[in-house]
A and B are shown apart, each in its own frame.
Chain A
Amino acid sequence: MSNAITEIQQAKCLLIFGYNAADSHPVVARHILKARANGAKIIVCDPRKIESARIADQWLPLNNGSNMALVNAIANVIIEEDLYDKAFVQNNTEGFDAFREIASHYTPESVEQVTGLKAADIRLAARTYAAASEAMILWGMGVTQYGQAVDVVRGLAGLALLTGNFGRPGVGCGPVRGQNNVQGTCDMGMLPHQFPGYQSVADDVIRDKFEKAWGVTLSGTPGYRLTEVGHKADEGICKAFYIFGEDPAQTEADLAAMRATMRKMELVIVQDIFMTQTAEFADVIFPATSWGEHEGVYSSADRGFQRFYKAVNPSGDVKPDWEIFSLLATRMGYPMSYSNTEEIWDELRALAPLYAGVTYEKMADLKSVQWPCPTEDHPGTSYLFEGNKFSTPSGKGIFIGAEWRPPLEQPDSDYPLVLSTVREVGHYSCRSMTGNCSALQTLADEPGYVQMHPDDAKALGIDDQQLVWVSSRRGKVISRANYNDRVNKGVVYMTYQWWIGACNELTIEHVDPISSTPEFKYCAVKVEHIDDQAWAENYVQTEYSSLKARLKSHVANA
């Protein structure tokens, strides 16, 4: 995020796009409510009437998969109605003319069909956003989990550039990350083309620095992204898969393809805190400590480093992740030893200028330090681009426009409904942690739910809470129908953490060309009524019990 989460309260307008804070980040939802109480105008763009939409000044229930068309239309209004900040655009940006050219094709009237929105509503939203002295955009997976994702991100950033909403408190762009510490994994160099601190592996000077520090030769060729691994395995290039703190057999799109990928690997290592379905594929399992059993540093979505502390002693034969890595590296001929996480952290900040000044002491207790923090006397950076200096070679913000592309797999007579995968507040991510909490299990349990508009369900003869089959061209799962007046007709919604009702059996591996993130938010499915509900209830219980028994037996036989 360009600006701190706490700055949400300072905004005079919040444009919330494909982001359900109440279910994904209740803490951010609180800031949104505070902003509203402070008088901020709230605009929510989401097909579902999410909690923020309920309290918004304006809710734009756009059609699923029409993001780029709506963003372009908002840009169109801001430019053509002369609402943009000409001085800011003139002095601090590049690429405006090309951006304007693309946006000129997207009058609100022309996108009514694609977005399902009235032109007047789009105009009103654009005017509200442009009129605010401080406007912030928040987006989430409803933007990034489409085949056209990076384009939309650039478009949203373009709206902020148009209106001069950068470089001050309470403005900017907030991609609120999908999971705890996703920001941290990017910060720490989990991206295949970067070393820690967003330093390119292709840069000779940077590589030389890391080679000297670590005493090894490093490759200047970017590695592979997760969605490429399957194809590299097919080509015989990827032979081993080391997975830690991740459950791709639950969370990746098109699980059947993911399982095939793991079977093709000569070696699968899984490092996790519980026996997961991914761990079933492992040749070697390294049992690791959980968040309460070790210390470390997390990055929050707004670049804030926060220390967390060990709360309890681990039980059983487990080790912290960093100790496992050290032991493995040592066995592989690279002696690696640290006595605590602070040593690792200090090594990191010596190599990453963005984090150089973030000491353990400055993060002590509950304090947060936001990068960039280049020196130890630097307090950290609440908002980026102060003085309108952007982190581009020219120092200017760059407009990048794009034409709208529809999602890949459109509904047809065989698969007439759209499936979009979403979150629910009570369960976190793949549920390997929250699934072991009895209270949360009681609130919602297997096989999970498929949220349907009552009219769609009734047309199929499906009652509320009945078990149903949901299938796509890739798979078929059982789920429980949830009549939901807040969802749009023609689209069904499932959360991705269920084992039996695993929606990722259905999703499609159609990836954004730049981020390689799959189109989790759009594929064609059908929902079918099950006549024998007693059989279906029994089937769910049997399947769930046998899966749990199988996972348990792996542990017992280990």
Chain B
Amino acid sequence: MNRFVFADPNMCIGCRTCEIACVVSHQVDGKLDGVSPEAFAPRLTLVKNVHVTTPVMCRQCDDAPCAQVCPNNAIVLEDGYVKVIQSRCIGCKTCVIACPYGAMNVVTTMVEESKGGSLFNRMAPKSQALKCDLCAHREAGPACVEVCPTSAIQLIKPETLSETSKQKREAAALNAAVASFR
């Protein structure tokens, strides 16, 4: 089972620190100076409506729809998470359609493309399918988990799930005892 980042809506206060931490974590130099609004692309998004406040992000689906539909095999299951090989991304956005969580974001920027001498330089579109990568480049793990002021965001590991399921079964067993049929 893949690990994934998950937020508890009962703990979230909607501060968006996670969004900023995500962008910082994915800057080459780890700095935010000069990040343009276009380049500001957090891989998790705070949803705040009348009922709920919580960031939504990739679940690292074990049988990931985004990976299944990618026509260029740019999305793979590797290193325990669903990884995008950006060099293969063609910006077709099929993964965006496939993702049931709205957690995929295709960002296209114009980059200088050189074919030989500078005479032939031209601006060409370059697409990237951006999603949560569990901050694989970071030793300390996902930045959002680290910065959340209420500890609402957690990295869920297989053992976390089995432990909470065990606790729920214990509670359910107790309830069953109380609510016995006779």
Contacts and interface: CB of A to CB of B under 8 A. Distances in A.
Contacts of A514: none
A27 B24 CA distance: 22
Interface string B8-42: 00111111110110011000000011110100100
A22 B14 CA distance: 7
A22 B13 CA distance: 5
Contacts of A485: 49-50
A439 B20 contact: yes
B15 A22 contact: yes
Nearest to A425: B15
Interface string A35-69: 00000000000000101001100000000000000
Given A438-B35, A485-B49, A485-B50, A426 B16 contact: yes
Contact of A27 (B12, B19, B50, B149): B149
A54 B54 CA distance: 12
Interface string A331-345: 000000000000000
B53 A51 contact: yes
Nearest to A22: B13
A442 interface: yes
Given A438-B33, A438-B34, A486-B50, A443 B16 contact: yes
A26 interface: yes
A442 B40 contact: yes
B114 interface: no
B165 interface: no
Contact of A29 (B13, B16, B23): B13
B29 to A, nearest CB: 14
A22 B12 CA distance: 9
B86 interface: no
A439 B24 contact: yes
B18 to A, nearest CB: 12
Interface residues of A, number: 24
Contacts of B20: 439-440, 443
Contacts of B34: 438
Given A30-B13, A55-B10, A425-B14, 20 more contacts: A22-B13, A22-B15, A26-B149, A27-B149, A29-B13, A29-B150, A30-B149, A30-B150, A33-B11, A51-B13, A54-B51, A54-B52, A425-B13, A425-B15, A426-B16, A439-B35, A440-B20, A442-B35, A442-B40, A445-B37
Interface of B: 10-17, 19-20, 23-24, 32-35, 37, 40, 49-53, 149-150
17 contacts: A27-B149, A29-B13, A29-B150, A30-B149, A30-B150, A33-B11, A33-B13, A54-B52, A54-B53, A425-B13, A438-B33, A439-B35, A439-B40, A442-B35, A442-B37, A443-B20, A485-B49
Interface of A: 21-23, 26-27, 29-30, 33, 49, 51, 54-55, 425-426, 437-443, 445, 485-486
